[in-house]
Amino acid sequence: MRILFAGTPDMAIPSLEALSAQFSVVGVLTAPDAPVGRKRTLTPSPVAARAGELGLPLLRPQRLDAVCREEVAALSPELLVCVAYGKIFGPRFLALFPKGGINLHPSLLPRHRGPSPIPAAILAGDRETGITVQRLAEQMDAGDVLVQERFPLTGQETTGELTERVSVDGAELLVSAIRRIAEGREQAVPQDHDAATYCGLITSADGWIDWSLDAGAINRAVRAYSPWPSAHTLLHDVRLSIHECEPVPAESAPSSAAEPGSVVSVDKKIGILVQTGSGLLSIRRLQLQSRNPLDWNSFANGHRDLVGTVLGGRTTA
């Protein structure tokens, strides 16, 4: 099976490694080098860097235009395999592959179609999620399902933790799906389009904490936006990122009539307690802009005037 692999971020690397070890990867399609850091140094994508180490031919087009299609056709690929490439494939591009294209999507399609399914599952409070290998179609994430893996969520996961899991498990699922295609055992199941839900592209502004929400919703946002863009607020006009928190059970929470965002107390056992729109949130790990992350106790010791402070005020993205 001659495969063109398309992917860009770190989560695609385990799939690239698995496929290159078991099939003939004739080329790797990835995003062009992009400026990184304060000096805006042009840097290859994680997939480009790993493909170079594996000695695989690289394609880094700005557009999937006629020139790109000619370069792909010259490689004589049979199957397109996509893991978080970042662009939509048009019909003329997909026509280059006799065995079509497949895509690894980290959700239980048709739930959470779109570019941010892992944060979406956390934000929605889903009790389970999973990984889907699907046929590529002209409509985003609407192709037939080839194989799915489901697993429960505990309500403690972060996007970073889930991404690491699905990147590893997804590589194994892709290998299984490709073997079925190669052996003529593919079983494609159409999605129920009426049951589809959608998620959008996450921006830095999405991490802004709305303290009027209930404690559970804010906790989900903190986990969903970890590691990026991180859930954040303001403390004395300085950006404050919240890395770990937990809703305080109603039976354990001290009574408070403070406005949302108010630091009502520092509890020696459970953390910095902040009033939300409904319930208290215990802040366990946090970070002021340009400072190192701290546990709540160390942070509180360095900010003796914390109790009574109201967190919030708009920050720039």
pLDDT of residue 40: 87
Average pLDDT across the chain, whole number: 95
pLDDT of residue 138: 86
Tell me the CATH number for domain 204-302.
Answer: 3.10.25.10
pTM of the complete model? 0.94
CB half-sphere exposure, 213, CA atoms < 13 A: 14
pLDDT at 91 over 50: yes
- Summarised one tens digit per residue, pLDDT across range 241-299 is 999 999 999 877 666 788 999 999 999 889 999 999 999 999 999 999 999 999 999 99
pLDDT at 316 over 60: no
- Summarised one tens digit per residue, pLDDT across range 5-31 is 999 999 999 999 999 999 999 999 999
For the ranges 37-41, 171-175, 193-197, 253-257, the lowest mean pLDDT is seen at: 253-257
* Among 87-91, 129-133, 301-305, the range of highest mean pLDDT: 129-133
Residues 6+ apart with CB under 8 A from 265: 254, 273, 307
- Summarised one tens digit per residue, pLDDT across range 138-178 is 899 999 999 999 999 999 999 999 999 999 999 999 999 99
Please list the residue range(s) of the chain that carry CATH number 3.40.50.170: 2-195
CA distance 241 to 210: 13
CA distance 163 to 55: 26
pLDDT of residue 100: 97
Output the CA torsion 289→217→120→292 (10° steps).
20
Please list the residue range(s) of the chain that carry CATH number 3.10.25.10: 204-302
2-195 placed in CATH 3.40.50.10490: no
**pLDDT bracket for residue 315 (50, 70, 90):** very low
Q: Contact at 8 Å (CB) between 109 and 134?
A: yes
